[in-house]
């Protein structure tokens, strides 16, 4: 089943070469949210670089680096590096095994390293007219001392093709503690929205925004905006 206009052939052809009402609404919504974020005084800059390759039709490996900057390109404070393996299980299910190596600059402690082994499971499905959906759950086992089960991150992805090589990608990720070190489990939420351009069959570029909400040990929720760029290369 495909999503096709049911009116006149001429109108159908015109719709196939344009964004359509849904695509225009998505781009407008992204622009309305991204522009205030770009002008906000607390806007950060996040950059994601990733590469991946298929080993077999069902096995995929990838590596990515995320860099976060506060007020300027000299004010870097987070580096996240992932090594990832994904296995397609069939019926839309995927198995994930990952290694995270992270460095975070804390205001009172300087740079602090974090290492974690990650296991996860996701389910994906493409729906006519409604884009591609993926529901993911990852569990993080901290490798630093003390080594223990640390937190888990449920995440929902949605990707909608727009026109030609362009698509809209939106996702929301929650972080929930499993150690009992905090008085509450849900302590962070991140929302991402990006316009992706498949520049070549191997290279994808993205421009968008992210918004992060954090709940400190003491106090109420605080948030920050970020401009987001993505560079992804597939072998």
pLDDT, tens digit (0-9, with 9 covering 90-100), for 61-71: 999 999 999 87
Q: Is residue 39 part of a domain?
A: yes
Q: Is residue 74 part of a domain?
A: yes
Q: Is residue 2 part of a domain?
A: no
122: number of Cβ within 10 Å: 18
Strands 203-214 and 222-234: antiparallel
Return the half-sphere exposure (C-beta side, CA atoms, 13 A cut-off) of residue 80.
14
Closest residue by Cα to residue 67 from 233, 231, 200: 231
Q: Is residue 174 part of a domain?
A: yes
What pLDDT, in 10s, does the model give residues 166-199? 999 999 999 999 887 777 789 999 999 999 999 9
Q: Bridge-partner residues for 136, per DSSP?
A: 122, 155
Q: What angle do CA 176, 183, 217 make, to 5 degrees?
A: 85
**Cβ contacts of 151 within 8 Å, gap of 6 or more:** 140, 175, 176, 177, 178, 179
Q: Is residue 4 part of a domain?
A: no
Range of the domain at 84: 9-234
Distance, in Å, from the CA atom of 170 to the CA atom of 193, rounded to the nearest integer, reads 4
- What DSSP character marks residue 183? S
Distance, in Å, from the CA atom of 139 to the CA atom of 182, rounded to the nearest integer, reads 17
Q: Is residue 57 part of a domain?
A: yes
What's the pLDDT score for residue 146? 83
Distance, in Å, from the CA atom of 122 to the CA atom of 105, rounded to the nearest integer, reads 31
Q: What's the number of domains the chain is made of?
A: 1
What's the pLDDT score for residue 21? 57
Q: Is residue 1 part of a domain?
A: no
Look at residue 106 and give its three-state secondary structure. Answer: strand
Number of H helices and number of E strands within the chain? 2, 11
- Pick the range with the lowest mean pLDDT from 44-48, 69-73, 198-202, 226-230: 69-73
What pLDDT, in 10s, does the model give residues 112-167? 999 999 999 999 999 998 999 999 999 999 999 888 999 999 999 999 999 999 99
The answer to whether 216 and 223 have CB atoms below 8 angstroms apart is no
CATH of the domain at 29: 2.40.160.40
Q: Is residue 3 part of a domain?
A: no
């Amino acid at each position: 089943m495909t999503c096709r206009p049911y009116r006149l052939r001429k109108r159908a052809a015109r719709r196939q070469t344009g964004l359509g009402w849904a695509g225009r609404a998505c781009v407008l919504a992204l622009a309305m949210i991204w522009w205030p974020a770009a002008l906000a005084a607390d806007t950060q800059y996040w950059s994601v670089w990733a590469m991946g390759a298929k080993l077999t039709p069902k096995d995929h490996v990838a590596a990515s680096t995320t860099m976060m900057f506060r007020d300027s390109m000299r004010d870097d404070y987070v580096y996240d590096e992932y090594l990832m393996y994904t296995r397609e299980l069939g019926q839309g299910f995927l198995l994930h095994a990952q290694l995270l190596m992270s460095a975070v600059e804390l205001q009172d402690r300087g740079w602090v390293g974090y290492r974690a082994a990650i296991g996860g499971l996701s389910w994906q499905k493409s729906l006519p007219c409604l884009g591609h959906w993926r529901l993911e759950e990852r569990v993080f086992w901290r490798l630093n001392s003390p080594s223990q089960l640390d937190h888990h991150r449920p995440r929902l992805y949605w990707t909608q093709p727009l026109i030609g090589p362009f698509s809209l990608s939106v996702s929301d990720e929650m972080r929930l503690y499993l150690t009992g070190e905090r008085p509450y489990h849900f302590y962070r939420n991140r929302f991402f929205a990006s316009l992706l351009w498949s520049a070549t069959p191997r290279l994808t570029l993205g421009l968008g925004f992210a918004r992060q909400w954090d709940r400190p040990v003491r106090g109420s929720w605080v948030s920050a905006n970020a401009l987001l760029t993505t560079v992804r290369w597939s072998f």
